[in-house]
Structure formats: C-alpha cells, structure tokens
Amino acid sequence: MSYFVTGTDTGVGKTLVCCALLRAFAVRGRRVAGFKPVAAGCGEDEHNGDALALRAASSMPLTYGQVNPYCFRHAIAPHLAAKHSGVRIELTRILASYRELAGQADEVIVEGAGGFLVPLNDRQTGADLAQLLGLPVILVVGLRLGCLNHALLTAAAIAASGLTLAGWAANVPDADLPALRENIAALRERLAAPLLGVIEHQAQPDAGAAAAQLNIGLLGDTGGNA
C-alpha cells in the first residue's frame, strides 16, 4: 500500500510525518521506501535535506536518485526552480520512478512539494501528479493560525481531484497556538477522514517519537499502487 502525502502549506511537517509513517510501517515488518519526486532547495552536493531524511527512514537500500529524481538548487516554487535550472518537470518521468520503487517495496510514501496545488510546470500541479499516481492522500495539517481554512480548502481540492483522503495528521509547529484542542476538534468534525494522530510540538523534530503518535491502523485498506 502506498500513499501520497500533502500539506496545508509548506513547512507544516510533511517530511516529519512521512518519515514517521515509514518507521511505523517498517516496525510492522514492511519494506518501505520514501519518495520525494521534486525538491527545491539543495546543497552544493545537489542533495536535499528532506529527501535525505526520507532515504534514511526507508527500510531498504536506495540511491539518492531513486528517492529524489528532480532536485533544484533554489528553495522557491518548483516550476520556478526548474525554470531557473533550464529543466521542465515531466510527470511521466516521476511516474516511471515511482513504479520502479513500488515494484520493490510494500509501501511507498510519496511526499509532495509544498501544498496540493503547487505548480510543477507551466500546466500541471501537485494535484495532477497525485492523480497520475492514483494514490490515496494523507493530509498533514500544520496547526497554526489559518490552519482551519487551509485544511478545508485542501480537502476540497483533493475531493475535486477524485482522490481519496485516507487520513490526516495534525502537526504542532507552534507550541503557543491558542485554542489548540478546539482547532483539532473543529477539523475532526469537518474532515471526512480519520485523524491518524497529533504530533506534539518538538523542539528537535524526531521521526521515531512522531511515529509513536500515529495510528496507521486507521488507514485500513485505502492504500494503493499505480
């Protein structure tokens, strides 16, 4: 079973949740692989920190290129980063890379770039990629000011794309967010998917600790392979 992980925005904890999911499935004896199709913001070694974290959390040996087929230097919107590099992001290439991983792993956790509708090229967005992969979606909600609107808009976009919202995870990047529990309750009432867990604020994010706060059993049989 594989999943496409998106977020209510950039910087909401997608990588932390993806690594936590990988660890949680690995504990169950599954062969798991992290996949970051597009990363913007790479070092001089042309490696991205989020992609490296996914690779480290995978339970099978993977090359960097298998985890992250498109990596760009500038930490800006993917279609702009690609344009600055003289590259066009091709979804068919991403699909081929995904299928290679899916043929070896029991679960592939695909981390989208930015939010669900972030542009990937002049015509296609993250939503188009999720549709092409045909995977159920896990939504990471960054619990901060504006999260209710962002979460509900993202859920509506996922539904409009004809995809299944398999579950959502609440990450708490802001330790001082007012009405934290009330915000979580509001989302539980309005999102038609199970809350997989609340990842409490961590000064130093730790995927192992986050995995202990997720209940992947709530995902049921919604996973898929394209």
Residue positions annotated with a catalytic role: 36
Residue indicated by tokens 């542009």: 119
Query: What's the CA gap between 64 and 61, in Å, rounded?
Result: 10
Query: Which residues make Cβ contacts (< 8 Å) with residue 187, sequence separation at least 6?
Result: 141, 147, 148, 151, 168, 170, 195
From CA 64, how far away is CA 39, in angstroms rounded?
12
**What SS3 class is residue 6?**
strand
Does residue 67 contact residue 99 with C-beta atoms inside 8 Å?
no
